[in-house]
Amino acid sequence: MRIINGKIFTMTGRVIEDGYIEFNNNIITSIGEMHNTDAGTGDFDVEGSYIFPGFIDAHTCIGLKEESNRYEGVDWNEESFPLTPELDAFDGFNPQDFALKHALRGGVTTAIVSPGNTNLIGGQTVAMKLAGDNPFKMVLKRPCSIKFSLGEEPKKAYGSRNHAPCTRMAELAMLRDILHRTEQYMNGAKAEYDAKTEALLPLLLKKVPAYIHANRADDIVSALELSKEFGFRCVIVHGAESFAAAKEIRAAGSAVIAGSLVLTNYSFETRFADLDVAARLWKQDVPFCITSDHHMSPIEYLPVSAALTMRAGLPMEKALSAITYDAARIAEIDDRVGSLEVGKDADIVIFNKHPFEYDAQLTALFVNGNRVC
Amino acid sequence: MRIIHGRIITCEGAVYEDGFISFENGVITKIGDMADLPCSGGECLDVEGSYVLPGFIDPHCHVGVGPEASGAVEYSEVVDPIVPHYCAVDAYYPFDTAIPKALSSGITTVITGPGSTTLIGGQLSAIKLNGEFASSAAVKKSCAMKFALGSAPLKTFKSYGKAPFTRMAAMAMLRQTLHKARHYMECQEKGIDISYDMKCEALIPLLRREIPAHIHANRADDIRAGIHLMNEFNIRCVIVHASQAAIIMDEIKKMGASVIFGPLYFTSRDQESEGMRFELPRLAEAAGVQYAVCTDACPHLSSIQLLLPSAALAVRKGASVEKALQAVTLNAARFSGIDDRVGSLAVGKDADISVFTKHPFDFSAKPSAVFINGRRMI
């Protein structure tokens, strides 16, 4: 299959004004300028349309907290116990969630599906392609990361029931306790099989990073210190006040999955969450990507939320990268998705105009080389 | 004060490609082409080809009544399901952080008020976002009466073990209230002695068609029930939210109701709101239904900053630019009866003006100037 006569945004720095892209067996096999090739029969001529890699949302509850569903389709917060690393988001993921169709309509082809924020350790996240109806065939990376949560959310969920943690002190003590036990388990201390510590091994063995939900700057610094203490990689999720801890995030080699940036500031902790967070991180050289935090804001409009950050000063190229290349790198799935390069998955989205134009229309979408829109 | 060299979109039909707009004492005094600019001195702002529009209006939100980043939410009364005598101005907090955000999006007026936990929630207020207390910032303290149908009030009151549990009870209670208020009004008109009833008093302007009803309804059957109930009592009717309007758009048109759609930038959380899509404005336009677009801004739901992106995305899904602009200006004003003051650029109206270097629907657009009552806010 070959798409011709497109303006191709590879997201690796190169924009091909009039180019082609060819893929075979789900994989991109060739990209180049039109003047280096001849149009053939069977080519898909997009007549000057804009071509991008499928967009990536690095932190969502898609399929876990289903659109339009109440308790029947709410599977994102296991509020029965605050430390549940053994849970796997994949096991709660329902591909029949309408939101998957909506995501594809918006050009979003990959999402990291994550447990919610009520638990100190919520479980394992999974990277899913959003086209298909068999989750086993939609998996891109499992586990993708381990989800942690600091600050008001666990306090609210458990403190309100007189269960620890009621305070930030308890939050960190409980996390240290389970991480110490995992270290001992890992170092072969005599122990029974333990599902919780077993699930944390990939984190301490540095195979996957932690996604740590933190909004307040002090919670962010606590997360970074914890990762240093136990030697695991750490990505900050949401990060309403992340711009105030820029120096610390940079020094720790961490990054921020910022968002949702289009919400109201519904609590004191989120009072600085606004469209300007992305620009403020960019100005301070902090690696970041932008998330819809679906269902908190609709995943279909991930590109719109990225475009809106431009009014707060983020350059267009950075806003685009924040939902493609940078999102893939932070989620550690950039070997497969996030850019248009030979050898990567053929996840390709085509628009009649630049997707940041308010009246742009998605005209075609390929996931794993299959046309789905 | 005058603004010159603007691309003036009045939002009531006229567009001046290179125009001027003059205002004095907070009121617009003259609008025209630059060629007709009267030569006189005074303060002048050359906007060099920027877009000049009326200040935008959010026709349904909870700004100031449910402030951001705060537990001081004032929009949910759950003791009595029928409280028409409550008024939003009494809960408006002018230091809500949503207000500077609204201003920096070019929004100058909001219709704000009670939520949807009560069958009759009280009076909505139209308030200018000039940072002053409602006593002086209100355009109209009581501009519409808020009703709510469907699951929101049922869920709330059932959880307290109080009526209404069902849609049957909701309609019976509303009918009874409106009958009683009409009787009260007729007694007063005929000079028959009747003891003072604050709830009935509050409903008189509604029954006299001085203000409209704003009815929270999502499911198609709730929309229909609301419109028929209002027709029964000859009350002007605006449906708010209307996620399933697509099913009965022709009926809405036939019954003469208007619709405020939103929040459209939204993930549906229950079956009632499932149809809430950016296609709704296009469908309304095709059926000839007058519509506005709102954010429903309040903590945990939607941000006021999404008003213009919402109207813009309605255009992406097929609405016309002209109607989508009116949905957040003139129609937003009309549906609350404040179009004599705001909602378009016209001589005699308030000098509420927004200036943008790019079209306001452009996602990267920010206003370069905003005036309220002729006073520069940005």
Q: If you write DSSP's letter for every residue of A112-137 in order, what string do you get?
A: EE---SSSSEEEEEEEEESS-S-HHH
**Per-residue model confidence as pLDDT tens digits over A2-32:** 999 999 999 999 999 999 999 998 999 999 9
Q: How far apart are CA B284 and CA B290, in angstroms?
A: 7
Smallest Cα distance from B69 to chain A, Å: 4
Q: Which residues contact A80 (CB under 8 A, 6 or more apart)?
A: none
Q: How far apart are CA B18 and CA B4, in angstroms?
A: 8
User: What six digits make up the tokens of B304?
Assistant: 């006021």
Per CB-CB distance under 8 Å, the chain B contacts of A356 are 363-364
Q: Do B300 and A266 touch (CB under 8 A)?
A: yes
User: What six digits make up the tokens of A150?
Assistant: 């600091």
Per CB-CB distance under 8 Å, the chain B contacts of A215 are none
Asked if B279 has any chain A CB less than 8 Å from its own CB, the reply is no
Q: What percent of chain B has pLDDT over 70?
A: 99
CA atoms within 13 A on the CB side of B286: 12
**Per-residue model confidence as pLDDT tens digits over A45-60:** 999 999 999 999 999 9
pLDDT at residue number B288: 98
Asked if B301 has any chain A CB less than 8 Å from its own CB, the reply is yes
Q: How far apart are CA A278 and CA A259, in angstroms?
A: 9
Length of chain B equals: 378
**Per-residue model confidence as pLDDT tens digits over B249-306:** 999 999 999 999 999 998 888 888 888 899 999 999 999 999 999 999 988 788 999 9
Average pLDDT of the residues in B141-146 = 98
Chain A (328-357) residues lying within 8 Å, Cβ to Cβ, of chain B? 356-357
Q: What sign for the dihedral angle of Cα B131, B133, B139, B141?
A: positive
Q: Do A264 and B315 touch (CB under 8 A)?
A: no
| pLDDT higher than threshold 70 for residue B73 | no
Q: Do B267 and A356 touch (CB under 8 A)?
A: no
Query: From residue B47, how far is each of A255, B52, B108 by CA, in Å?
Result: 41, 9, 19
Is the distance from CB of A116 to CB of A65 less than 8 angstroms? yes
**β-strand partners of A20:** A32
Alpha helix stretches (DSSP H) within chain A: 89-92, 98-105, 135-138, 152-154, 168-186, 195-204, 217-230, 246-251, 276-283, 302-308, 316-321, 325-330
Chain A (59-78) residues lying within 8 Å, Cβ to Cβ, of chain B? 67-70
Q: Which residues contact A290 (CB under 8 A, 6 or more apart)?
A: A257, A258, A259, A261, A278, A302, A305, A306, A309, A319, A322, A323, A327
Q: Quick one: closest CA in B to A362, which residue? A: B316
Per CB-CB distance under 8 Å, the chain B contacts of A301 are 265, 313
Candidate from A268, A296, A297 with C-beta closest to B69: A268
Phi-psi category of residue A25: left, alpha or beta, with phi > 0 → left and psi -120 to 50 → alpha = left
pTM of the model: 0.94
Is the distance from CB of B311 to CB of B41 less than 8 angstroms? no
What's the longest Cα–Cα distance across chain A?
71
pLDDT at residue number B237: 97
Q: What are phi and psi of B121, to 5 degrees?
A: -95, -15
Candidate from B299, B315, B364 with C-beta closest to A311: B364
Candidate from A294, A359, A360 with C-beta closest to B267: A294
CA atoms within 13 A on the CB side of A251: 9
**Per-residue model confidence as pLDDT tens digits over A351-371:** 999 999 999 999 999 999 999
Going through B203-245 in order, the beta strands assigned E by DSSP cover 213-217, 237-241
Chain A (217-276) residues lying within 8 Å, Cβ to Cβ, of chain B? 262-268, 270-271, 274-275
Radius of gyration of chain A (CA): 21
Smallest Cα distance from B30 to chain A, Å: 32
Indicate which of B62, B264, B267 best probes the interface with A, i.e. most A CBs within 10 Å of its own CB: B267
